Structure 1
Amino acid sequence: MHPQFAHLPRLDLPERVVELPDLHARHYPADGVGAGEVLVGAQARDQADLGHGVVRTSELSLLTRRRPRSMAHTLQVIGDRWNSLILRSSLHGIKRFDDFPTDLGIAESVLSQRLSRLTELGVLTQRGYQVNPPRHEYVFTEKGLALYPICLSMVVWGKRWLPSDGGPGTVLEHKPCGHSVEPVLVCGARQVHVSPDTIT
């Protein structure tokens, strides 16, 4: 785990699939068209007519096509289920390529694509740990570390609104005081709790 978060519990983030069927984006399995290829628009509809696969995920770049907003840009990072799970593993201290498939059960081809994308977005960066043969590990940038409050809020939301039948799940404890953690949004000037009706 990153030293900054060494005192915090592991995060159990749910897998997420973003579905926007009105965009006609379809994902096909490895034995179908293009091994995990995302097809958009008429091409997707043509392949659907041939009976290939079902709607799985939408091309996230389409989220900002009509109305670019901060939330849409953030979803380009965490809206993909594999991206969110890779970030969870990274927050738990996993850095090396070979360790991600063991933790996530992800195909190496998919992992390579997602790590390249997260690096391109500036969330992760490569750091060499072996010269011969050259090998790299993936570590958080400052931009990536700033996602921790979002991940923590997702965990707390899931515990409250989508409770597990197996028990209370992850217990978040603030070690310095021993009390449970509840992320809140506060005013930067007055340090008071804010709600949707108090924000313009």
Structure 2
Amino acid sequence: MAWWRNRFVWVAVILLGVSATVVLLVERAGSGPASADHLFGQLDRRLVATLEQLEPEQHQGHGEHARDVAEETRIVCGVRVFGVEPAEATTVSEVRTAYGFHLCGVAEPNRPWDWAVKLVGPIVVAMDSEPPVVQVAEATTEVPFVERVRQLFPERYQEQALKESLGEQSMRELRQRYDQAAGL
């Protein structure tokens, strides 16, 4: 009997084909969100570096606290990007605008995190300039916070901008970096 007439060979060929199809579908299904997660992770790191290079007084929208810190301070930040323009961007160089949330601590020597000045809130970052230009959604006496978020963020990102925070891992890393910078 020839091998191509053996039903066990055909069952094996069919199983191999189905297995290959399943593997391809799983990889393809994972490429969308995984690509977005990878892009957002790269943007998170870039924006952390951008924010940490600013002097405390350059952190617009954080009130007088950012101006009243000691000279020997260091800004330590965490960022979580949750949207980009254009939405179909797959590389950092394609991103014109990033939307996210930031939390920075002003690390003064021996000052614990709980007592640190914190700079926090949703941000819009123009990525088409060097360095990127950061806008913080801030409340003023004329414009309430929620209205300012609506002015800065496209509708599809407004809900996230109003409730977003850092993830557990990012928060842990931020606290460790803060403690190091504060000498704790």
What TM-score do you get using the length of structure 2 for normalisation?
0.24
Higher strand share: 2
Structure possessing the higher radius of gyration over alpha carbons? 2
Higher helix share: 2
What TM-score do you get using the length of structure 1 for normalisation?
0.23
